[in-house]
Amino acid sequence: MVKYIYNLAFKMALSATIALVIGESLGFKYSTVAAVIAILGIQDTRRKALIVGRNRAVACIIGQILSLIVYGILGNGAISFGIFLLILIPITSRLKIQEGMIASVVLSTHLLVADKIDLPLIINEFGIMIIGIGVASIANLFMPALEDEFRKDKIWIEEKYKVILLKMSKSLLTQTVDIDEQKIMDDIEKNLIRSNITAYKIVNNNFFKSSSYYTDYIAMRRNQFDTIKKMRKNFERFSMPVDQMKNMAMFLKRVAEDIRENNDCKEHLYRLEKLKLQYKNMELPKTREEFENRAQLLNLLNDMEDFLNIKRNFILNNKIYCSHFSQDKC
How far apart, in whole angstroms, are the C-alpha atoms of residue 186 and residue 193? 11
Q: Of all residues in the chain, what percent carry a pLDDT higher than 70?
A: 85
* Domains within the chain, CATH numbers bracketed: 2-139 (no CATH), 147-328 (1.20.120.940)
How far apart, in whole angstroms, are the C-alpha atoms of residue 50 and residue 141? 10
Q: Of all residues in the chain, what percent carry a pLDDT higher than 90?
A: 50
How far apart, in whole angstroms, are the C-alpha atoms of residue 36 and residue 20? 9
8 Å CB contact between 203 and 212 = yes
Most confident of 158-172, 185-199, 267-281: 185-199
How far apart, in whole angstroms, are the C-alpha atoms of residue 304 and residue 275? 11
Mean pLDDT score, 198-217: 83
User: Structure pTM?
Assistant: 0.76
- Residue 285 is predicted with a pLDDT of 63
- Residue 224 is predicted with a pLDDT of 95
Q: Which residue has the higher pLDDT, 66 or 210?
A: 66
Model confidence pLDDT, tens digit, residues 12-51: 999 999 999 999 999 999 999 999 999 999 998 888 899 9
Q: How many CA atoms lie within 13 A of 267 on its CB side?
A: 8
Position 330 pLDDT exceeds 50: no
